[in-house]
A and B are shown apart, each in its own frame.
Chain A
Amino acid sequence: NAGVTQTPKFQVLKTGQSMTLQCAQDMNHNSMYWYRQDPGMGLRLIYYSASEGTTDKGEVPNGYNVSRLNKREFSLRLESAAPSQTSVYFCASSAISGSSAGNTIYFGEGSWLTVV
């Protein structure tokens, strides 16, 4: 049982390049999330998907797009990377959609992205 798996773990991009961060969960969870964490800061929510086929903006969605490909997979795309997007990106999932009870979130190990 792998939980939440993110790829790649490390990536260096040049300004203006595009890339997609992949995320998959094997817990049959309904909801999935993408967060970013800048050095010395807390996590900030980029986008989330309450259920398959739906996506919603979080706190810092600008410069990103997401796709909920199926129940297992939720990808994050940077169309034109900027140095301000240098960060650690965490994917996460939770079982319950639209209810706070037991809405425990499980996180992946992170993807370190540097934009030069």
Chain B
Amino acid sequence: DAKTTQPPSMDCAEGRAANLPCNHSTISGNEYVYWYRQIHSQGPQYIIHGLKNNETNEMASLIITEDRKSSTLILPHATLRDTAVYYCIVNGATNKLIFGTGTLLAVQP
């Protein structure tokens, strides 16, 4: 499975959009990009995933570049409850989802 690179931490003002980047330059054609988040010490929570096209759901939007080597998770109106560690994962046709160290997003009041 392809590796991902994320910044270790980011800040965002409450009410503003949070844009979390992820590099996955070795991604292969059948690998999806997944985003999860972990609030404090709870179990990770699924946010969104995509293959080629941009995706949006009630939680977030996922923008994948045309060459698929990077992506951005967008939380349109960040709240204090969005403070968490965000994990970007790429996965192909296996069940081995490998988590990296993620990005700690701190939403500031």
Closest 7 CB pairs of A and B: A107-B43, A43-B99, A42-B101, A42-B99, A100-B32, A104-B46, A50-B95
> Which A residues form the contact surface with B (CB < 8 A)?
4, 31, 33, 35, 41-45, 48, 50, 56, 58-59, 88, 90, 92, 94, 97-110
Contacts of A97 in B (CB 8 A): 95
Given contacts A42-B87, A43-B99, contact A92 B43 (CB under 8 A): yes
> How many A-B contacts if CB must be within 8 Å?
69
Inter-chain contact A103/B42, CB cutoff 8 Å: no
Give bound CA distance, A43 to B102, whole Å.
10
When the two chains form the complex, which single residue of A44, A48, A99, A109 contacts B43, counting CB atoms closer than 8 Å? A109
Given contacts A50-B95, A58-B96, contact A104 B44 (CB under 8 A): no
> Which B residues form the contact surface with A (CB < 8 A)?
30-32, 34, 36, 41-46, 49, 51, 85, 87, 91-102
**Which single residue of chain B is at the shortest CB-CB distance from A97?**
B95
Inter-chain contact B44/A48, CB cutoff 8 Å: no
When the two chains form the complex, which single residue of B31, B92, B93, B99 contacts A35, counting CB atoms closer than 8 Å? B99
